[in-house]
Structure 1
Amino acid sequence: MTRDFLGYIERISEGATRAQIAKIAGVSGSTITRWDPSRSDHIKPKADAVIAIAQHYGQPPLEALIEAGVLTASDARIRVAARSLSEYSHAALLRELQHRLDGMSAPPEKISGPEDYGEEPIPDDYELAAGTVAREDDHLAD
């Protein structure tokens, strides 16, 4: 699996420029450019640069080394857990949502009624939805 370390950097740095990243990592801007996996002259980042970036942004170095493809999760003998959505910037979440929406070939199935939920409705559900069911606390306000 090809890792996109530049995407990882974008997520953790919230849009730092490549020049800023190069300075943090102690490498040239052209080296950062060659970390792009789509390039024919692609290179893996060196461990010391990866660790410097992770530490600068307060991220676990081991996770960064895995993201950079320097180590695998089995090399590190850890279980890589999914990240919490709160760790992503709003811009990154919106880009992902747009990417997924662009990839939809057909609109999602429409739900036409309760039968589409796989269970029979209870008559009280209709009354509750219509607002005709009195709750015990309705009388307390009188």
Structure 2
Amino acid sequence: MDQTSGVGETWWEYLNRVTDRASQVEIARAAGVDPASVSRWKLGKNTPSADRVIAVARHFGRNPVEALVVARYLEPREVDASIELAASAAALTDDELITAVRRRLELARGMVASGSPVSQD
């Protein structure tokens, strides 16, 4: 990748900066790829996949979002966007799940008492 990322540096320049010019072998280990892949990154022939970008950032103690911006997976304007995460019921503790069910039942009872239709989804 010989073009700049829109943040002033190429992926290879970023790697040199955040790794303190680590060897291609060390970067390859951090990314979980072979050194030939890192060589192709240096030459701008290939761009690492997003999961490899994240692996390198984490290994060298950098914010993965920063690395994704430099690697052009994200635009700088997207970084400031709100992120909405939905929790899976499987991730809830038993107490959290019981509380959520209780709230829904109370809401449904209130809607029935007020004459509002209750959704059955």
Q: TM-score range by the shorter chain?
A: 0.5 to 0.7
Equivalent residues of 1:25, 1:50 under 8 A apart? yes
- Counterparts of residues 1-142 of structure 1 (less than 5 Å): 1-3=3-5, 4-36=10-42, 39=44, 42-74=45-77, 76-78=78-80
Give the 3-state SS of the residue equivalent to 1:6 in structure 2.
helix
User: How much has 1:68 moved relative to structure 2?
Assistant: 1.2
Q: Cα offset for 1:77? A: 3.7
5+ residue gaps in structure 2? 82-121
Name the aligned partner's letter for residue 50 of structure 1: V
Q: What is the aligned partner in structure 2 of residue 90 from structure 1?
A: none
Q: Using the alignment, how far apart are the partners of 2:63 and 2:79 within structure 1?
A: 15
Aligned residue pair count: 75
- Divergent runs of 4+, >2 A: 76-79
Q: Normalising by structure 1, report the TM-score.
A: 0.47
Cross-structure match for 1:122? none
Q: CA RMSD in A?
A: 1.9
Question: Residue by residue, what CA displacement relative to the aligned partner does 1:11-69 show, whole Å, maximum 9, x if unpaired?
Answer: 11112100110011001111111113x54xx2221111111111111111000011112
CA distance in 1, matches of 2:54, 2:33: 13
Which structure has the larger Rg?
1
Distance 2:70 2:51 in 1: 14
TM (norm. structure 2) is 0.55
Query: Counterparts of 1:19 and 1:53 in 2: how far apart (Å)?
Result: 12
